[in-house]
Amino acid sequence: MQKTAIITGGAKGIGRAVSLAFARAGYAVAVLYHTSEAAAEALVQEIETDGGRAAAIPCDVRDSASVQNAVDAVHKHLGKVDVLVNNAGISEQILFTDITDEKWADMLAVHLTGAFYMTRAVLPDMLHQKAGRIVNIASMWGETGGSCEVHYSAAKAGLIGLTKALAKELAPSGITVNAVSPGAIDTDMMRLLGEETCRAVAEDTPMERLGAPEEVAAAVLFLAGDGAGYITGQILSVNGGAVI
């Protein structure tokens, strides 16, 4: 029976690469998006043209009702949920003293509270079948902290804590919870920093290049597969040796 994977923020960047990787591996893919409707619809059309099954579903992960509506839509169009990839994210470089209450709350809402809402919504499926894979997209800044990215680093560090704690709680139910922690990845979000900054970051990475979204996707797909059944509560870093 075909398995179904939900990818939040699945239309662009790392999320797009993850969505394509799962579709090519034979999963039905729910591409959840917030504002990137056109990109999500185009991705679904690409997957279906290649013979896969997919659905573009709107979702604001900051809102629990929106999350539940999205999961209900997945059930309607694709069936029960076997894999959840919590990828939706935002970023911002800003001095700590310039972080407003709203900026702080929004960063945690997208990265941490959103993962909580999504996981809570899909768990009934996984608990019922005593199987499931949850993969959270963390960041090397959640492991090390990033200057001028305190709210982002804190949110990702919280996501790593959620991963480790929930893995212990769900292990007896046959559900694994892991995180992939990307370093500097060549996405539109990274490119917003400018060509000079991207070049400098690449030079500072031991492998002397930016990572590709597809390399992150491969790690996510591995953790969702049958071969990773005895791996849980782990942080798989995809960072070119930047953090060891």
Contact 4, 74 (CB under 8 A): yes
Domain ranges of the chain: 4-237
CA 99 – CA 150 distance, rounded (Å): 9
Statement: the pTM of the whole predicted model exceeds 0.85: yes
At 196 the pLDDT is: 82
CA 179 – CA 174 distance, rounded (Å): 17
Is residue 194 predicted with pLDDT exceeding 80?
no
CB environment 111-135: b (16+ within 10 A), e (fewer): bbbbbbbbbebbbebbeeeeebbbb
Is residue 219 predicted with pLDDT exceeding 80?
yes
pLDDT band at 9 (very low <50, low <70, confident <90, very high): very high
Question: Where does 164-244 show beta strands of DSSP type E?
Answer: 175-182, 235-238
Long-range contacts of 122-125 (CB under 8 A, 24+ apart): 122/6, 122/71, 122/81, 122/84, 123/170, 123/175, 125/80, 125/81, 125/82
Residue at token pair 């990702």: 156
Contact 166, 123 (CB under 8 A): no
CATH number of 4-237: 3.40.50.720
Beta carbons within 10 angstroms of residue 137's beta carbon: 26
Question: Where does 8-166 show beta strands of DSSP type E?
Answer: 28-33, 54-58, 83-86, 132-137
Beta carbons within 8 Å of 164's beta carbon, 6+ residues apart: 233
CA 23 – CA 167 distance, rounded (Å): 25
Contact 170, 212 (CB under 8 A): no
Nearest Cα neighbor of 183 from 242, 137, 227 is 242
Q: Mind telling me the catalytic residues? A: 152
Pairing, β 132-137 against β 83-86 = parallel
At 8 the pLDDT is: 98
33-86 pLDDT per residue, tens: 999 999 999 999 999 999 999 999 999 999 999 999 999 999 999 999 999 999
Nearest Cα neighbor of 28 from 86, 87, 76, 89 is 76
